[in-house]
C-alpha cells in the first residue's frame, strides 16, 4: 500500500466517494476539485495495486485568529480494505505532514455515534474536547483534538 498526495486526476473517484459517504456541509463533491489545487488543503490518497482505496483530507485553515490550528475533514477507506490499518496510516501521514507545515494542533468533528471513527482517532492520539454547538443531520457532533509535538 502506498500513500501519495492526491492530484486533480483523482477528482472523479473522490467526488464519487464524497457523494456517497459525506453528504453534509464540510465536504461536497464540487469543492474537492478546488481543494486538490489549493495549498490550504492536504489530500492524501492510499493506493493498492494501482487502485485507489482511501483518502484523508486536512484543512490548514490559515485562520489568523487560530494560528497553527488545522482541521481534519475526512478519512475514508473503501469497504473491501477496512480493518487493515489503512486509516491509521492515512491519519498518521497527515499528522506528520502537518507538523512540517508548522501545525501545532489538529481538531475534527465526529458524530457522537461513529464509534468506529472515534476508535481510529483515539489510536492516532486524538481525544474528546467538547460537544460541538451545532447538530449535523440532526445528530450530536463531538469535537476531538490533538496537539502536535
Ligand atoms: C472509519 C474508517 C476510515 C476506518 O478505516 P480502516 O482502514 O478500516 O481503519 P483501520 O484498519 O486503520 O483501524 C483503525 C482503528 O479504527 C477502529 N476500527 C476500525 N475498524 C473497526 C471495526 N470494524 N470495528 C471496531 N473498530 C474498528 C479500531 O480502533 C482500529 O484500530 P485497531 O484495528 O488497532 O483496533 C472506515 O471505516 C471508513 O471509511 N468509514 C466510513 C467513513 C467514515 O466514517 N469516516 C470517519 C468520519 S470522517
Q: Which of 13, 75, 87 to mutate to test the pocket of ligand 1 (most atoms within 8 A of CB)?
A: 87
Check: pTM over 0.75? Answer yes or no.
yes
CA of 111 to the centre of ligand 1 (A): 14
What is the model's pLDDT at position 33? 85
**CA-to-CA distance for 72 and 56, rounded, in angstroms?**
8
- Cα–Cα–Cα angle for 49, 52, 58, rounded to 5 degrees: 135
CA of 63 from ligand 1 middle (Å) equals 30
Parse the chain into domains and list their residue ranges: 2-147
**Pairing assessment for the beta strands 69-77 and 105-111 based on DSSP bridges:** parallel
pLDDT (tens digit per residue) in 81-113? 999 999 999 999 999 999 999 999 999 999 999
The pLDDT value given to residue 84: 97
What architecture is domain 2-147?
3-Layer(aba) Sandwich (3.40)
User: How many angstroms does the Cα of residue 137 sit away from the middle of ligand 1?
Assistant: 21
| Ligand 1 centroid distance, CA of 82 (Å) | 7
CA–CA gap between residue 64 and residue 13 (Å, rounded)? 33
Q: Whose CA is nearest to atom 48 of ligand 1?
A: 74
With a 6 Å cutoff on the Cβ, whether 121 touches ligand 1 is no
Task: Give tens-digit pLDDT for 55-76.
Answer: 999 999 999 999 999 999 999 9
Amino acid at each position: 500500500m502506498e500513500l501519495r498526495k492526491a492530484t486533480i486526476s483523482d477528482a472523479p473517484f473522490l467526488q464519487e466517494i464524497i457523494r456517497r459517504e459525506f453528504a453534509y456541509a464540510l465536504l461536497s463533491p464540487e469543492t474537492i476539485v478546488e481543494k486538490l489545487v489549493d495549498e490550504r488543503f492536504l489530500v492524501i490518497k492510499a493506493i493498492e495495486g494501482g487502485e485507489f482505496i482511501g483518502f484523508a483530507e486536512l484543512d490548514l485553515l490559515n485562520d489568523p485568529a487560530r494560528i497553527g490550528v488545522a482541521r481534519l475533514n475526512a478519512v475514508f477507506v473503501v469497504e473491501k480494505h477496512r480493518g487493515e490499518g489503512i486509516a491509521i496510516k492515512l491519519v498518521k501521514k497527515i499528522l506528520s505532514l502537518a507538523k512540517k507545515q508548522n501545525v501545532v494542533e489538529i481538531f475534527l468533528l465526529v458524530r457522537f455515534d461513529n464509534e468506529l471513527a472515534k476508535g481510529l482517532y483515539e489510536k492516532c492520539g486524538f481525544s474528546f474536547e467538547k460537544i460541538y454547538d451545532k447538530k449535523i443531520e440532526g445528530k450530536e457532533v463531538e469535537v476531538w483534538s490533538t496537539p502536535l509535538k
